[in-house]
Amino acid sequence: MSASLRGGRMPIRYVRPTKEELLLVLLALDNYRPIKGVLRLQFMCFMYHYFGFKFVFGPCGPYSLELMESLQRLISEGLVKVYVSLDSGGSVVKTFSLTDRGRRVAAAALDRIRSNNVLLEGVVVRRGSDVVSEMEAIKRTYYDKPPTFMLLRILRMIKDEWPYWVEADERIRDHVEDVVEEMVPYLYG
């Protein structure tokens, strides 16, 4: 007789993807479209805080050294490639995409995550298919948005409720409120 039939509880089974695996999955989603720009990558990972990266509030918004170290490991392992190009305005932009080997590793991680429950940040269990859908929604929503649009979205989110994954004291929080108030007219006319 199973534990659930005897009135006992069945343990929840889950997988625990690494932060690097989640980054690979993000790069694989939306038909492997590369992510253009360090800011865009930082902002996407900030918006989906279940990646588990800790952030500080820097001069250009939230920044995670931990995220950049994970990305560098993936580049060093030959799973992610970075190329530098000019955008339509002539600015230099780094673009991140998966190598062929990275695609294989990402596909395996994606299958494993999608078909299981997932433990995120060591405390939250979510259906893997939901995690994948949420990550893909963020990538699709912000893929072509200018970083200023994303930053304003983040600043408004922070102003409403300071996220636990951002380290900052009260002075920084007050500064963010001032920045949001001053930036809104410039970003939206």
For tokens 């983040």, the residue is 154
Sites in the chain below the pLDDT cut of 50:
1-5, 189
Do the Cβ atoms of 93 and 86 come closer than 8 Å?
Answer: yes
Selection from 48, 71, 65, 68 nearest residue 124 by Cα: 48
Q: Rounded to 5 degrees, what are φ and ψ at 10?
A: -85, 135
Domain residue limits, the chain:
19-188
pTM of the model: 0.83
Do the Cβ atoms of 110 and 25 come closer than 8 Å?
Answer: yes
User: Coil, helix or strand for 67?
Assistant: helix
**How many CA atoms within 13 Å lie on the side-chain side of 175?**
10
Length of the chain: 189
Instruction: Tell me the pLDDT tens digit for each residue of 17-54.
Output: 999 999 999 999 999 999 999 999 999 999 998 888 99
Query: What local confidence, expressed as pLDDT, does residue 186 receive?
Result: 66
User: Coil, helix or strand for 84?
Assistant: strand
